[in-house]
Amino acid sequence: MPQGRYVEDEFDRDTDYIEDRITEDGRDGWPVEPDRYRLVVSRACPWANRAIIVRRLLGLEDVLGMGVCGPTHDARSWTFDLDPDGRDPVLGIERLQEAFLARYPDYPKGITVPAVVDVPTGQVVTNDFPQITLDLSTQWTKWHREGAPDLYPDHLRAEIDEINEWVYTEVNNGVYRCGFAGRQASYERAYDRLFAALDRLEERLTQRRYLVGEQITEADVRLFTTLVRFDPVYHGHFKANRNKLSEMPALWGYARDLFQTPGFGDTIDFAHIKAHYYVVHSDINPTGVVPKGPDLSGWLTAHGREQLGGRPFGDGTPPPPPRPEETVPAGHTVTA
């Protein structure tokens, strides 16, 4: 479930996260160190999906381990039900909640992914999802793979930050305002606001390949994880149904371009995505029935975005294929 509250029947996301940062200088008491921390994610979650993608693109697999929770959870916490005996093999815990309580025994807020856990102590360090990916780009540079792209270039940061703030408010969170609206009027306001934003993005991406600059940046990662969930989940489950993503030419081409880029589509588990939303959100879908569709084969069709120029990784190179233990299971995604 999303962590939030209702203000005049409109969904308002709780953004009160643990704001400690893992930095090169260790200013918050958490210095960057290889093999010290574990990134805990669920492939179902769009916020966690960002961290999975950035970790892949930067090549941090050798220094930052990743624990993957299952697609569903109960009121207490995300669980490691994909692992043998239902425990994370490194942290030895059944629930992410245990890492939060290890640090804050009376932790009163939501247990969210992504979260970074300090392996020696078993304590959560941070679940501040917007900052986690920025710090992977800017604080872990010593451990980036050779050829890692610069996802947050100095000269573009102001524009990236502006786009990120707007996309978060209007699109990333906009779909949730539609899905969790408490009244008809609230839903219709959210619906109009979301599609006004998507129309604005459609116009922007008609003339340019990426959101900011000539290569993939943090801004593209943040938009992609919402777009890839749009037709499978948000269109039906959240009633964001003016049209499908596949009916918006520029956005659909842009999303396919990224999906077919190494590090993006190979992180997507459509089975987990659908199971999470349709099972966990029992107030919206009380039957728990998970839809069989939509047809996902279109994600691999030609997009033609190369004609707009740009280079996906700038002066960098694509990441290698995902490790076998981190590969999305066959049948859960779209493969050539």
Annotated binding site for glutathione: 78
Nearest 5°: the CA angle 31, 37, 42 is: 135
Q: Which residue in 279, 287, 197 sits closest to 233, CA to CA?
A: 279
Q: Could you give the CA distance from residue 222 to residue 229 in angstroms, rounded to a whole number?
A: 12
Provide Rg for the chain, Cα atoms. 19
Mark whether 45 is an active-site residue. yes
Q: Which residue in 288, 286, 230 sits closest to 71, CA to CA?
A: 288
Annotated catalytic residue within 17, 37, 45, 278: 45
CB 161 within 8 A of CB 213: no
CB 31 within 8 A of CB 25: yes
Instruction: Mark the binding-site residues, compressed into ranges.
Output: 78
> Phi and psi of 280, rounded to 5°?
-70, -35
CB 51 within 8 A of CB 78: no
Q: Kindly report the length of the chain.
A: 336
Omega before 114 within 30 of 0, i.e. cis: yes
Number of H helices, E strands in the chain: 9, 6
Annotated catalytic residue within 17, 37, 152, 176: 176
Could you give the 3-state DSSP secondary structure of residue 244? coil
Mark whether 17 is an active-site residue. no
Q: Which residue in 60, 14, 73, 55 sits closest to 34, CA to CA?
A: 60
Residues with catalytic function? 45, 176
